[in-house]
Amino acid sequence: MWQSMTREELDRAYNNSLAVANSADIVQAWGEASQAIRATNLAHNDLPYGSASYPSFDYFSAGDNTPVVAFIHGGFWQNRSKSDFSFIVPALLSSGMSVAMLGYSLAPYAKMDRIVEDVRSGIRAVIAHVTSEQETCPDLWLVGWSAGGHLAAMTLDEPGVTGATAISGIYDLEPMRHCYINDKLALDVLSSKQFSPIKLPQTTGKTLDLFVGGAELGEMQRQTIEFAAYLAEQGAPGVFKNLPGLNHYTILDELARTDGLIIESLRSHLLESPAA
């Protein structure tokens, strides 16, 4: 268990980029593909919410009255941005789902309370934007990867959100408080508990699906396995799937390909009738 690890061991246990030898190449490819996709959507990029021009969201429409997927990026709450992940958009659009790419403030500029509130504000802004364009907002489904999985779980209770898919997420922040991630995040005992989904009631009645890769770090897998067990104890709806052979980065292929397991799960929730 993580409590018996030294600081150095715990740092390695949550260092996904170190664990995947070609992670830098993967992330570079994501960025290049995302830049090209965003270039086709200039009028709907960087739509601000809040009191300033940042944070903001990008909106990619699949047409009126299509379900909306709101994607929350990862980066341990301190790295990357929404603009790095637009490579997932084409597969979702071609499946008939509109996409909102949510931005949020990062540590050390923002602490966890501000980060969570940013995501909540972003969800409300997306709903308001879609409603202004077509009078109503269809189902809004959250999808989060890594730190974004944590943020999806934390904001599932927002009105207008019908469910969420959390991919390779962090659900207990206490280990974060004792490793390198906290150098910028600045969690204390109270905030660690207050913002850990596994330590909060899960009583929304909304579906929360969990995915993790079978080739991910042991601590990343443990986080999802234990949260899945906790959700089951709470009677919360949702499925848990450990996808063999996938690491913390290649698991997003299952969202970026039209035949990916994660995108098929989203279609089953958002596009198929209950009788299908």
Provide the pLDDT confidence category of residue 52 given band limits of 50, 70 and 90: low
In CATH, what number is assigned to the domain containing residue 18? 3.40.50.1820
> What's the whole-model pTM score?
0.96
Q: Which domain holds residue 223?
A: 2-270
124, part of any domain: yes
| Average pLDDT in the chain | 95
275, part of any domain: no
* Dihedral sign from CA coordinates of 255, 259, 127, 49: positive
pLDDT at 273 over 60: no
Provide the pLDDT confidence category of residue 251 given band limits of 50, 70 and 90: very high
The domain tally of the chain equals: 1
276, part of any domain: no
Dump the DSSP string for 143-188. EEETHHHHHHHHTTTSTTEEEEEEES-----HHHHTSTTHHHH---
pLDDT at 66 over 70: yes
pLDDT at 75 over 50: yes
160, part of any domain: yes
183, part of any domain: yes
Q: What is the pLDDT of residues 84-139, one digit of tens each?
A: 999 999 999 999 999 999 999 999 999 999 999 999 999 999 999 999 988 888 88
Spell out the alpha helix ranges (H) of 39-162: 89-94, 112-134, 147-154
Residues 211-231: what's their mean pLDDT?
Answer: 98
173, part of any domain: yes
What pLDDT is attached to residue 276? 35
State the helix-helix crossing angle for 147-154 and 112-134, rounded to 10 degrees: 70
